[in-house]
Amino acid sequence: MAHTRLLAAAIALTVWLAACGPGRPPASPTAAATQPAASTRPATNTAGPTTAPTPVAPTPVPTTVPTQPPPTPTPGADALLVACPAGDPWSQTQGGATLSICFDPHPPKLGTPGRYTALLVNAAGQPMAEAQVELTMVGGMAGMEGEHDEDFTLEMASQGAGLYAAEGPVGPSDLELTGIIVRVRSGGDGWTFNIPASALAGDE
């Protein structure tokens, strides 16, 4: 029995020495030690370089331009004198002024009651207001026209808008009409319109 106990004690001592002696194997590394160290390299941007957004030009707002109506043309003298009571108006332009004149009766006669209506417009087609207008009828003895002619003058009064008018018999009825002269003064300018009797007689 004593021998058996000694043997058991020797075995136990041997086991203890084996566990505590220099020949003990190193402890297994911990799970944390087996993990690779974290990399200190900066993270690589795998999304690629950021592209700056392209500015989008604002859509222009259409500007509505009001349509201007075309200018209304100024009618000529003949159009403004819509119609003469008798015959057609006689018209002539000189030096930037246009005269159109109506005679009633047509052709006019010396010594006979009549009405004379004139329209004056400037180079722009605008009525010439506040002008001084004289109508002179020239007559002579039949068969002697041009030798001892006489002048008979009427002042034509303004009717507004470039219209001028005169009424009444002019001169004696025993004289033949040889011509008509219309003298106009406006703003320091003057015009003389000569109407031969032949220019009116052809419209009878």
Are the CB atoms for 159 and 172 separated by under 8 Å?
A: no
User: In terms of Cα–Cα distance, which of 97, 67, 99, 71 is closest to 164?
Assistant: 99
Predicted TM-score (pTM) of this structure: 0.59
The tens digit of pLDDT for each residue in 114-170 reads 999 999 999 999 999 999 999 999 998 887 766 778 999 999 999 999 999 999 999
Task: List domains and CATH numbers for the chain.
Answer: 77-201 (2.60.40.10)
pLDDT along the chain (204 residues), means of 10: 62 62 50 49 56 67 60 46 80 95 94 95 93 96 78 96 94 93 95 94 58
Cα separation, 175 vs 148, in Å, equals: 11
Angle among Cα 139, 143, 148 to the nearest 5 degrees reads: 45
